[in-house]
Chains A and B, each alone.
Chain A
Amino acid sequence: MSLLSVRGLGVHYASRAGKVRAVDGADLEVPAGSILGLVGESGCGKSTFGRALMGVLPDAARIATGEIVFEGRNLLALSARGRRALRWRRMSFVPQTAMNALDPVQRLRAQMLEVLQERGGLGRAPALARAETLFRQVGLDPSRLADYPHQFSGGMRQRASIALALALDPALVIADEPVTALDVIVQRQVLDVMRDLQARLGIAMILITHDMAVVAYACDRVAVMYAGRIVEAGTAAEVLERPQHPYTMGLTHAFPDVHGGTSALVPIDGAPPILIDPHPGCRFAPRCPFAVARCHAETPVLASEGDHTVACFRAGEAPALRAAAAEPATWARS
């Protein structure tokens, strides 16, 4: 039984141009004690997915369909109060740029104690001790608790956010693009902190990112998201090295490798889909070089083969498609 299993999740935004289906029938299994990389391009709904798990969405958005079963309970069936009780105790969040995710006029100590005391029920002294241990665990000098957020560098702010997220020993930490805004060396250091703490504390993590290399470096499992849906999921090795969905294939070839040759990078033509009245059938069909008539009519369902699930009618021909996907000519249609 996985720690978290999401089925048919739908989150819709009310906008002047109509209902935007940011997340539209997403399914995902997250086993306990592993790091899952949720990867996709901007506008694919991955951030909305993360925030939907936390149950804190912008005013214009609401969860329309599906269920989120976490530790055996469907969160969507809980009362608001019940849901709020779980927040940060069982499931916490690390934001992208911690600069505006920390209260600018409060010292870090106050923000840590607030969570430890008000949500964790600790007294002041044990809370302070816990805050100092957490800071040490993420590689920050406890004396920095007395500083304000603007006195921290980018890397240090992310470490502080991680410390904050681990405060109440949650079972799951959702990190939304935690290292995107960081330089490569600091990014590596923060990723190592996350991998080390995850291994030592045995917590589950969802790392939301657009960077395939970061996913390859830090994650055990990978889920690829496109136009509000999970199109492929499995172990990192399976998904990255033996992708079965054309979009994943395209992504791996569009990504330059620092040690790779200078073989031509392959762009995926066309623009990401507008999620107001999405394309019937498979959302990727308009940009997919392997699309057939069926792809434009029917919507493929996630089918799993062993530990590797994919939503594509031609998944069976994956090895042949993979070979074709490596050729730039396959993608250069327009």
Chain B
Amino acid sequence: MARHIAERLGHLLLVLWVVASLTFLMFRLMPGDPTLNFLSPTFNEEMRAALLRGFGLDRPLWEQYLIYLGKLLTGDFGQSFLQNQPVSRLLWDALPNTVVLTLVSLVLAYGFGIVVGAFLAFKRGSVAEGFAIPMALATRAAPEFWLGMLLLALFAFQLGWFPTGGAVSPGGTMGTLTDRLTSGDFWWHLCLPALTLTLFLQGLPLLLMRATMLEVLNDEFITMARMKGLSRWSITMRHAARNALLPVVTAFALGLGASIGGNVVIETVFAWPGIGRVLVTAVQSSDYPLAQGAFIMIAFVLVVMNTVADLAYAALDPRVSVGARK
């Protein structure tokens, strides 16, 4: 087992390094002169050169790359063009909002999905199944932001139950993470985006749980459990559900990584100040150090969660974690 972990961690470091390098390359090919946005036409050539030097853009590419990697290791993402403050501070301020949104939605989506999925497997062939499966498929087929638009139009604009965007009521300030988590206003703003994301995410666990449960339910050891006279309930819960949870747990970890990147659209629809929104605005305004920082953070969380998913599966499945025959 330890060998498996070491191998996966080594692999993780390699992937992180390659992703960081790819990001570096991608952003260096960005169109438009990075300094264009905040240079007024009156700036002469000499001042423009000074600025480039300030951001280290005049050095040869590979030298920039080494500086970039060096800074990356120390968590320094460089200076934002527009907001003239360290990118890292902007990111650390925005990341918690994304994490809270993602975690709340994932927990709700997977809780709902697992329970309903198990129930549908238990009640195979029922009317509920004929209704629930197309619904689950439909939520997976719908664009996230469109779901957001519908909820926004109905609950915010039409009924006015929820704010129409942002994370804080006008005039309020977000403050530190603990301030946000303790402020009702923050949670009130979180409702709609979280509901949208939950609606979007619950399809996968529901279908996956049902499919795995059905697969497990006609395994031979379930037939044996029935032969032992165990009640249908204890068979489903103790035997089928436990085995069916393995792939769902992996999907949860993968889902966490993927949706942190995927929230870009939800955060845009609801103007939710998460890291996705930071990326969008940064790319739209060619503030590429900020965009690059946001991208790397999202990518790193994704890669780390992919590895966590892999290790979680190995840890949970005794066939992998407890080694071969004695």
Contacts and interface: CB of A to CB of B under 8 A. Distances in A.
B326 A89 contact: no
Interface stretch (B9-17, B172-180, B218-226): B218-226
Residue among B242, B243, B325 with most chain A CB within 10 A: B325
A95 B322 contact: no
Interface in A91-149: 92-93, 95, 97, 100-106, 114-115, 118-119, 144, 147-148
Contacts of A101: 220-221, 223-224
Interface string B206-245: 0000000000000111011111111000100011001100
B3 interface: no
A104 B324 contact: no
Contacts of B224: 93, 95, 101-102
Contact of A103 (B243, B317, B325, B326): B243
Q: Is the interface of B mostly helix, strand, loop or mixed?
A: helix
B317 A105 contact: yes
Nearest to A86: B229
Interface stretch (A150-158, A212-220, A253-261): A150-158
Given A84-B229, A87-B229, A92-B227, A151 B322 contact: yes
Contacts of A148: 318-319, 322
A152 B227 CA distance: 22
A85 B229 CA distance: 7
Contacts of A119: 228-230
A88 interface: yes
Contacts of A54: 227
Interface string B293-326: 0000000000000000000000001110011111
Interface in B3-60: none
Given A151-B325, A153-B325, A56 B318 contact: no
Contacts of A88: 227-229
Contacts of A85: 229
A105 B42 CA distance: 72
B236 to A, nearest CB: 13
A128 B229 CA distance: 20
Contacts of B230: 114, 118-119
Residue among B221, B243, B323, B325 with most chain A CB within 10 A: B221
B221 to A, nearest CB: 5
B243 A100 contact: no
A93 B246 CA distance: 28
Contacts of A100: 219-221
A115 B228 contact: yes
B227 A56 contact: yes
Contacts of B322: 148, 150-151
Interface string A43-62: 00000000000101000000
A104 B223 contact: no
Nearest to A144: B326
Contacts of A102: 221, 224
Residue among B219, B323, B326 with most chain A CB within 10 A: B326
Nearest to A87: B229
Nearest to B318: A148
A148 B323 CA distance: 10
Residue among B227, B230, B242, B322 with most chain A CB within 10 A: B227
Contacts of B326: 144, 147, 151
Residue among B220, B243, B322, B324 with most chain A CB within 10 A: B220
Contacts of B317: 105
Given A92-B228, A148-B318, A151-B322, 13 more contacts: A84-B229, A88-B229, A92-B227, A95-B220, A100-B219, A101-B221, A103-B239, A105-B243, A114-B228, A114-B230, A115-B228, A148-B319, A150-B322
21 contacts: A56-B223, A87-B229, A92-B228, A93-B227, A95-B224, A100-B219, A103-B242, A105-B242, A106-B242, A114-B230, A115-B228, A119-B228, A119-B229, A148-B318, A148-B319, A148-B322, A150-B318, A150-B322, A151-B324, A151-B326, A152-B325
Q: Which 3 pairs from chain A and chain B are nearest by CB?
A: A87-B229, A100-B220, A148-B318
